[in-house]
Structure 1
Amino acid sequence: MNHRLNDAVGATGRVRQAIMVWDIPVRVFHWLLVICFAGAWLSSESERWALIHYAFGYTACLLVLIRLVWGLIGTRYARFSQFLKSPKAVIGHFMAMLRGHPHHDVGHNPAGGLVMFVLMLLIMLIGFTGYLSVKEFLGDFASEAHEVVANLVLGVVILHILAAIGMSLIERQNLVRSMINGKKQGMPEQGIRYPQYLIGSLIFFGAIYFFYLIMSGSLPSLTQ
């Protein structure tokens, strides 16, 4: 009980409360990327589903490109400057966890931020090797590289899920739910003011439209 009380109280002795941390664009990106990766993985073994596979894969790459831009101009906790830390900071985070004194970051912690950024780069690499495979560049090498990177990403995704569950237990707050409602525990002044509904909606419908274009064969340069 005392541990829970201490976790709910900030360094100033004030009680933490639910604040808005993740804006709509970040949440839309996260869950659409989950759908795209799962869809691409499930449709990868059938030639009949080739266009569906391409649509999921290329849409994932589009989402990553958008997220990279939002990481530069987005809200406070969406920005790379907030969570991409030095190797020393990442190691310090792991050491603090091993000592049983984890940092309760409002946004991404140093390790989580690094894993997320690496995952985005790997998604882009999957898309690039997939494009090379479609165009039959580099022969079988492109197809094999595409499969290897996809398996690597699956491993990182599993690690990410396990880490989210583990940190939820350590921080005593549901991080999966936080990526749904955008809220985490913190001080009122730490929260973001504007969820960015309009930009989030544009990203959502833009990704859906791009998926449709690939599925309908309207962008043959990517699929033939």
Structure 2
Amino acid sequence: MTAHVPAPQRVWDPFVRVFHWSLVACVLLNSFVVDDGEDLHQWLGYLASALVVLRIVWGFVGTRHARFADFWPTPARVLQHLRALRAGRLDQHAGHNPLGALMMLALISLVLALGLTGWLQTTDTFWGEEWLQDLHEAVGEGLLIAAGQHAAAALVMGRIERTRLVKAMVTGVKERY
């Protein structure tokens, strides 16, 4: 007897996928390629912030699984998901699971905080303020840590759920195996 494998499911629309990989590119380029203070660093930061603002708008008007209402991590949803994980039960979600939703919200908050602290450094009021530069750098490091956790969690949860999550962020289709 063979186990039933659910049919592939279209989950993430083109906007969500382009947003995701564009934001990944902005973060990686700004973190590992571009030197601090360069125009490119600033423009990549502004682009990342603009992408996040567009994603927030898309979270209200976009396709079903892109909408925040589809995956908003309420305390009840998070607890139910954690209990299922602890019990070894699969708590399947078409889009983001509650922990993935928390991570998504954390990541977009960090990107916006980076954009704000970066922009403030260009204003007359905060030009040359060391505490703001330190905060900007700390938030950037926090973003890299959170992004690493996000990538690791996608791989681990993909194994647990027997889902090709990374491939789904390229194709938009979640396949279970």
TM-score (norm. length: structure 2) = 0.92
Alignment of 1:58-137 (within 5 A): 58-135=46-123, 137=125
Aligned equivalents of 2:14, 2:151: Cα separation in 1: 21
- Residue range with higher mean Cα deviation, 98-107 or 76-85: 98-107
Aligned equivalents of 1:175, 1:185: Cα separation in 2: 8
Which residue in 1 is equivalent to 2:158? 168
RMSD (CA atoms): 1.7
Match of 1:148 among 120, 123, 138: 138
Deviation, structure 1 residue 44: 5.0
Are the counterparts in 1 of residues 71 and 101 from structure 2 also a CA contact under 8 Å? yes
Deviation, structure 1 residue 137: 3.6
Secondary structure of the 2:121 match is: helix
Alignment of 1:204-219 (within 5 A): none
Deviation, structure 1 residue 97: 0.9
Deviation, structure 1 residue 121: 1.2
Are the counterparts in 2 of residues 43 and 52 from structure 1 also a CA contact under 8 Å? no
Aligned equivalents of 2:139, 2:59: Cα separation in 1: 24
Aligned equivalents of 2:9, 2:90: Cα separation in 1: 20
**What percent of counterpart residues are identical?**
37
Q: Unaligned regions of 5+ residues in structure 2, if any?
A: none
TM-score (norm. length: structure 1) = 0.73
Which residue in 2 is equivalent to 1:217? none
Aligned equivalents of 2:77, 2:49: Cα separation in 1: 29
Paired residue type of 1:171? E
More contact order relative to length (CA 8 Å, sep ≥ 6) = 1
Match of 2:14 among 24, 41, 45: 24
Are the counterparts in 1 of residues 117 and 136 from structure 2 also a CA contact under 8 Å? yes
- Which structure has the greater CA radius of gyration? 1
Deviation, structure 1 residue 19: 2.2
Q: Deviations over 1:23-73 (max 9, x none)?
A: 0000000000000010111245455xx111112111000000000000000
Deviation, structure 1 residue 136: 5.5
Aligned equivalents of 1:95, 1:105: Cα separation in 2: 15
Q: Deviations over 1:79-106 (max 9, x none)?
A: 0000112122112212211211121111
Deviation, structure 1 residue 166: 0.5
Paired residue type of 1:87? P
Quick one: structure 1 residues 136 and 148, their matched pair in 2 at CA, closer, same or farther if it must change by over 3 Å? farther
Aligned equivalents of 1:182, 1:96: Cα separation in 2: 26
Quick one: structure 1 residues 46 and 124, their matched pair in 2 at CA, closer, same or farther if it must change by over 3 Å? closer
Count the aligned residue pairs: 174
Q: Deviations over 1:90-142 (max 9, x none)?
A: 12212211211121111111110111012101100000001112235441111
Aligned equivalents of 1:57, 1:127: Cα separation in 2: 6
